[in-house]
Amino acid sequence: MFMHPQIAFVGAEMIAPAIAPALAPVPRPIAAPQGGIAAGALVETGSGWLPVESLQPGMAVQTWDGGLAPIRAITTRWLLPVGAEATMIHLPGGVLGLCSDLWLAPDQLILLESAAAAEVLGHPLALVRAGALVGSLGITRQRQSAPRQIITPVFAQAEVVFANTGARILCPGAEGPAIAAPAVGGQAMGQGGYLDLLDDDRAQALAGLIEAGALKTRDLCPAA
């Protein structure tokens, strides 16, 4: 469970490959994006790894901060293969610790942890949209040729859950704002104890650094 009941995001400064900027984030509320996990993904529960489409209210799910949290509700929608918006984000197995391929809605928020983020942001954690990772790490946006079921577990408060082993998926909370990113117990955060929500440009830059294996600030700077 997240530590702060009041929920807000922090916008980090622009990530640039040549520099590691100082941050001066100001917590700000943000509207909940319409995310979701495609049917077929496995989510870690108190009873082991189960298909996301089999989850039910009341079931306990393993969360990132080390505890089990009961599902308050399940929202389900269908993405129909009609129009320009009929796309999903494909994350191939082996990327970001995934044991197998994962499909997410473009606006689903993912929690990334990397040494590159630590060097640029001052801490290793950042939230990004799944759609912002397209073009790096083998992640692609693909049109859907058949209806696809998209599921979102809802908890009392926003929680980060595990999907396909390595993906850390931010799920909404029923109490207060629908999407949240405050500090999690025992984890390093940005200024004020809040995670950084990166806009798409900054998320793409960070994904590029992760893909390139840039682990130190000096790796982000051009040679003299």
Q: Do 151 and 39 contact (CB within 8 A), yes or no?
A: yes
Indicate the pLDDT class of residue 143, thresholds 50, 70 and 90: very high
DSSP characters for the chain?
A: -BS-SS--BBPPPPPBTTB--------B--PPP---EETT-EEEETTEEEEGGG--TT-EEEBTTS-EEEEEEEEEEEE-S-STT-EEEEE-TTSTT-SS-EEE-TT-EEEEE-HHHHHHHSSSEEEEEGGGGTTSTT-EEEE-SS-EEEEEEEESS-EEEEETTTEEEEE-BSSSSSS--B-BTT---SGGGB-BB--HHHHHHHHHHHHHT--SHHHHSPP-
> How does pLDDT run across 187-221, given as a tens digit for each residue?
434 444 456 788 899 899 889 888 887 544 444 44
C-alpha span between 120 and 123 (Å, rounded): 8
* pLDDT value of position 176: 52
* pLDDT value of position 166: 92
The stretch 166-182 carries a mean pLDDT of: 71
